[in-house]
Each structure stands twice: as C-alpha cells, then as structure tokens.
Chains A and B, each alone.
Chain A
Amino acid sequence: MENINHPTALADEPTLPFLPPPTRFAVPPKNAGRKRIRGLKPPAYSLSSSSDPAVFSSDDDPALDNYIHGRRKKRYVGTWYDQHPASSDSADSAMGDDMRPPLLKPRPQRQFKRQFDSGVWMQADISTDADENMELDPSISRLPISHSAPLRPRYSEEEASAQQIVQSCIDVGREEVDLSALQLCSIPNAILELISLIVPIPTVAKDVAFEQRDPDIKLFLSNNFLRQFPSAIINIEHLTVLSLRGNRLTELPPAIASLKNLETLNIAQNKLRSLPGELLSLMKAGSKLTDVQLHPNPFYQPRVPNYCPSGMEEYERGTFGPKGDADMCESWHGFTTTLLARTPVQFSYHSTVVSRFEFPTATSLPAHLRKLDLEELWFLEIPKVIRKTIGPLLDEPRASTPKGAPPLFEMALRAAARYPDRESTKCMLGERGVPRHFTPAFERAAHIFDMGSQTCCVCGRDTIMPLTEWVEFREVQRTHVVVMGQTENWYSTRVSNNGDEHCVPFVRKGCSWSCIPFKASEPSEDLELVPEV
C-alpha cells in the first residue's frame, strides 16, 4: 500500500511501516468479512477519559493490521476536567457504523466548583497553577454545618464562682458545699446537679475494713438573694444539711418532702408566708429531721391567737386517712406538730377564687394583713355553686388512694407545661378567642411543674391545678421518745416560746372540690366556742 504523498527522497531508506494516513483519507477494509470494521471516518477527537475501556485495539484483535487502518492514538486536548467520557472506539466499532452512537454528546458546560472530597484539592504534593491561583476562603464552607451549635450556658460571675466551688468539692470529695454569701440571685440547676456527683473519699486506716458509705452532703446557700427555691436541690438524694437562711424565698416546693435524709433544715430569714403541708412528712415520729430553723419569716398568723379546736383527731383522721404511726422500737428525737387551727377553704374555679375566703395575693404584706380567718373544724363553708356540683359526693366515704382519671383539661395542661418553649405557648394562649382563664392556669401549672410536683393532700393524686387550698396552723415541738422495754415515753417541748412564732402555717392543697377538710362532728352544747372574728 503506497502512499502517494510520501516523499520519494526517503525511498532508499529501510522500509518502515508507513505512517497511517493523517486524517480524512478513508481506507476501505481489506477482509471485511473476517476483520473488524474500522470506521470509515476516523474518529474526530474522541474525547474520552482515561477510565474508558481499553484503547489498544490489540486487546481485541492482536492483528497488526489494525494499526494501519487510520487508527490514531487518542489525544487529549484541554484540561482534565473538560474531558468527557465518550464511547470508546474499541467497544463501539464492533457494532458497526450505523449503530455507533454520537461520539460527542452535547453536555452542559461544566460548572467549576470546589469539591471538597476530591483528591485534587487535598493538598497534593504537586500543585498546579490553577490551585495556587485559587483563593480558597476557609471561613465560608459550603458543607451543611449547622451554625447553631449548642452554646455553653453563660454563667454570671457569681454563678461561675459557685460552679468552681462545686467542682472543687467534687475533685477533693468534700461533702460540705459552701455557697453562702456569693450574692447569687439564682443558681442554675446545672450547677446543683453536679453536687450529686460528690463521692466521699473513705478514710483508710490500719485494721479498718474498707467500707463504702453514702455521701453526707451539706449544702449551704445562706445569705444570697435567691427568690426561688432551686428545684434541683430536691434531686440531691443524700442531702443531710440544707441551709437557705437569709434569702428571699417566698415559697418552698412541696417536693421538699422527698429529701428523706434531711437532718438539718434552716429556712430562717426568708420571705416565706407558709410552708408546704408536705413538709409535715419530715416532721413526724421516725423521720430523720432533727434540727429545724423556721423563724423569723413573715408567716401567716391566725386572727385569733389562742385557739383551742375541738374535733382535732377526727379532722386529721377524716381528712388525711388513718395515721400510720409505726410503733417506735428505739428511742428517737426529732420534731412533731400539733394542729392548732385551720382556715376556711379557698375554692377556685377557672383560676379565680369563688369562695368568700381568699388568701391575700400581694407580694409584700404588712403584719395585720397576714392574719387569716379561722374556721371551726366542725364547720365547713362551701360556696353554693360548688355545693351544687359536689353535693352528692360529700356524703360518700373518702377515697384515701387516688381513683379514676384526671380531668382532660389537667392532662392537656400538663402536656403543655412539659413543653419547653413556654413563651410561644403563652403567646398562643394569649390570642383572641382563647378563654382568658387559660393563661393563669398555664402559668400556675408551669410553676408547679418546675417545682417538682404537687400532690393532693387528701387523695394523693398528682395535680397540676389544685382547686382547693387551706392553711393549718400547727405548733412545732421538739420531741424525744424514749423506749424502755415495752413502754414509750414521749417528751415534747415547744420549739419557741415567742408568741408570734407559736403558730406555723402549713398549706394544704386539694385536687378537686371534694378534696376538702373533713367536717368533724359538732361538739355538744356545753362546750364554749370561740367566735370567729
């Protein structure tokens, strides 16, 4: 096969295989039947990427003929990323020309963009010019990184120092956490939760068996500016000493009764007007509480100072069920209380008080307004509206265990209080068309939820919207029980002989209108009654 264009000057040189025709010249196949058909048109720039199938025809057919049929080596022009994968000759040519798909498919212009996982961008040893010219701004990342990473709670200076103290207590295993006089206005629960992590380091001495003991945590929060009882305290199981002296607390949570290991409680010099009735469970025979400082506090006082109720036993047994006073098998000393009087019951409905008797709501009260009316234990004033509803229930025997389901309203309220986004809930409740009593009911429920829990004092059901409320005035006594053989000797002394500190108010809350004090039977005529003022 002669190429006419071949220069004759080279004719005497040793024969070399002829170069394939540059382009355009079509060479008819020789043995069309047996051999592979090359394309009549040599492929234009077949822009195929390196990952395409083999380009050497020898892979398919080792015959050298293949090399003289206008076959040309693939050439790549332009940058690597402009190379499009195209069908390779070797694969397609077998199908014949007719079936050959178009070599250059129309492709959209490739957008240049940075691909983070591409090796090209990963600081290769050999960098190309393009790399160096690229300005890669590391601050702007296109990866979907959430920018709302949880921020660490920012503590104020006082809170930070409190945290340091707690942390150092954990580090050295010290059980006295002294956070007093740090000018704390509030203390985040996150800090107090750390206190549960304190583990005492046992004393190791010769000839003493190693013994693991429960921590004996003492928490001093005295002389701060706390307005709310830090609710995380009630979760510190092994708390034995709690001092909240000299704060601005207006209320103790009912859940304080869950601090069963508490031995010392100091709540003097606060703004407490009453104590939760649940605290009484720590002030009875058998409990561990041995030291209580309650005064001074602006407590409610009875309007009639020296009051001697009748039917006390009946009231206590009827309202709160039979007392489970366990027989003391060993000597005990602690606190007990005796009932002195009780106020009328405040009934509320739709977050408004419907009874004549109402607790003052103002935040600060002069002493004469802190005096509350009293009611005989055999008398029970129930507003007419409520009497109509609960009338038949009054005669039924009291349930000492909660029975039946809570009202739907309360269940929905609880679900709402559990939801953390309080502000948006309040906004929705403030919209037009929503009954107005929803917002105060929700606020109260949220408050009770934050403070732990509130149980009905009569039926023991967990409630988030108590409907009845009354105060019991009790005398707190320091009591010693000495057991000698089969006999128990009880010695009680008043905690305080000061007239103002004689009566301590304990708030009782009921979950329904029928969770009210038991009406003691009327005393006989000859007993002189103290008139209500």
Chain B
Amino acid sequence: MATNSDGARNTKYVTMISGDGFEFVVLREACLLSPTIKGMLRGSFSEAKTGRCVFPEITGPVLEKVVEYLYYYHKNVNVPYVPDMEIPVELCLVLLEAADYFQLDKQMT
C-alpha cells in the first residue's frame, strides 16, 4: 500500500474503521456511493491522505452491514429487480441512523 499522500488517493481500497476497532478494507469505487465518504476522501483531509476513515460513532456489526450494503449496491448497479438484502430487525434502527449518517437515504438512480 502506498504511503505518500498522492498514492493513497488512488488506491483501489479504502479502510473503514469502526469505533470499536474493526477494520474493513473496501473497494474505493463501492465506497464512493456514500456522499459522506466521498467527502472524506476528497481534498486534504487526513482520510484522503491515508485512505483510512474512522467512524467513532459506529460499531463493528453496523459498519459491517453498511459495507455489505455498499458491495450489494455496487454489485447490482443496472441489475433489474434486485433481490432484497437481509436486514436483521435488531439492527434496523441503528442502520437507519447509519444510513442517515452516510447519506444513503435516497434513491440515486
């Protein structure tokens, strides 16, 4: 993995870190769906330089589901009639907040 700031900008993967220390290495392309992450990875923010985004308010299981969604979305772009992703009931309220935080709250297409 590149360490200099220019290199990190163009890495294929981005590391997302939850508040309790879980790290998820996610395809940058998939991450950019979220305007929040897109903003973090832009400009001269430290996240843009290192390619590591820390989300202190979000716990591991929730971030895992968010990452699952990012890949689910990425995989199904332009696929008609996408099967639903499983969302456990106990996570649905925290996921509402997470979706709000990541601005994944409206149809983009």
Q: Interface of A with B (CB < 8 Å)? A: 349-350, 393, 399, 401-416, 418-419, 425, 428-429, 434-435, 438, 461, 467, 511-515
Segment among B18-26, B37-45, B68-76 that sits at the interface with chain A: B68-76
Q: Is B92 an interface residue (CB 8 A)?
A: yes
Given A405-B85, A512-B109: A429 in contact with B93 (beta carbons within 8 A): yes
Decide: A393 and B106 in contact? CB cutoff 8 A.
Answer: no
Q: Which residues of B contact A349 (CB under 8 A)?
A: 106
| Residue of chain B at shortest CB distance from A434 | B97
Contacts A403-B80, A405-B72, A405-B73; is A416 near B93 (CB within 8 Å)? yes
Query: Which A residues are in CB contact (< 8 Å) with B97?
Result: 434-435
| Cα distance A408–B107 in the bound complex, in angstroms | 9
A348 to chain B, nearest CB (A): 10
| A411 with B84, Cβ < 8 A, contacts A416-B92, A435-B100 known | yes
For chain B, residues 78 to 109, give those with C-beta under 8 angstroms from any C-beta of chain A: 78-82, 84-85, 87-89, 91-93, 95-100, 102, 104-109
Q: How many residues of B contact A (CB 8 A)?
A: 32
Bound form: Cα–Cα A461–B97 in Å: 23
What CA separation (Å) do A461 and B98 show in the bound complex? Answer: 23
Given A405-B85, A419-B89, A412:B99 Cβ within 8 A: yes
B109/A514 in contact, CB under 8 A: yes
Q: Is the CB of A409 within 8 A of B82?
A: no
Q: Is B107 within 8 A of A407, CB to CB?
A: yes
B106's contact among A399, A412, A419, A467, by CB below 8 Å, is which?
A: A467
Residues of B within 8 A of A413 (CB): 92, 96
Q: Are B66 and A409 in contact (CB under 8 A)?
A: no
CB within 8 Å of A: which of B42-82?
66, 69, 72-73, 76-82
- Per the bound structure, the CA–CA distance linking A401 and B72 in Å amounts to 19
- Of the candidates A408, A412, A438, the one having the most CB atoms from chain B within 10 angstroms of its own CB is A408
Taking the closest CB of chain B, its distance from the CB of A464, in whole angstroms, is 12
Residues of B within 8 A of A350 (CB): 105
User: Would you call B79 and A408 a contact (CB within 8 A)?
Assistant: no
Leading 5 A-B pairs by shortest Cβ distance: A512-B107, A409-B105, A409-B99, A415-B92, A412-B95
The reply to whether B105 and A403 form a contact with Cβ atoms under 8 Å apart is no
Report whether A403 and B109 are in contact in the complex, using a CB–CB cutoff of 8 Å: yes
Q: Is the CB of A407 within 8 A of B79?
A: no
Q: Of B89, B91, B106, which one neighbours A407 at CB under 8 angstroms?
A: B106
- A513 with B106: in contact, given A409-B99, A412-B96 (CB under 8 Å)? yes
CA–CA, A412 and B80, complex, Å: 21
Instruction: Report the minimal beta-carbon distance from A161 to chain B, rounded to whole angstroms.
Output: 37
In the complex, are the beta carbons of B79 and A512 less than 8 A apart?
no
B107/A412 in contact, CB under 8 A: no
Which of A411, A429, A434, A512 has the most chain B CB atoms closer than 10 A to its own CB? Answer: A411
Q: In the complex, what distance in Å separates the CA atom of A437 from the CA atom of B96?
A: 11
Question: Within the complex, what minimum Cβ distance (angstroms) separates A337 from chain B?
Answer: 28
* Known A411-B87, A435-B97, A435-B100: A512·B73 in contact at CB below 8 Å: no
* Sampled A-B contacts (26; CB under 8 Å): A402-B80, A402-B81, A403-B78, A403-B109, A404-B73, A404-B76, A405-B72, A405-B82, A406-B107, A407-B105, A407-B106, A408-B98, A411-B69, A411-B85, A411-B95, A412-B91, A412-B92, A412-B96, A412-B99, A413-B96, A415-B91, A416-B89, A416-B92, A416-B93, A512-B106, A513-B107
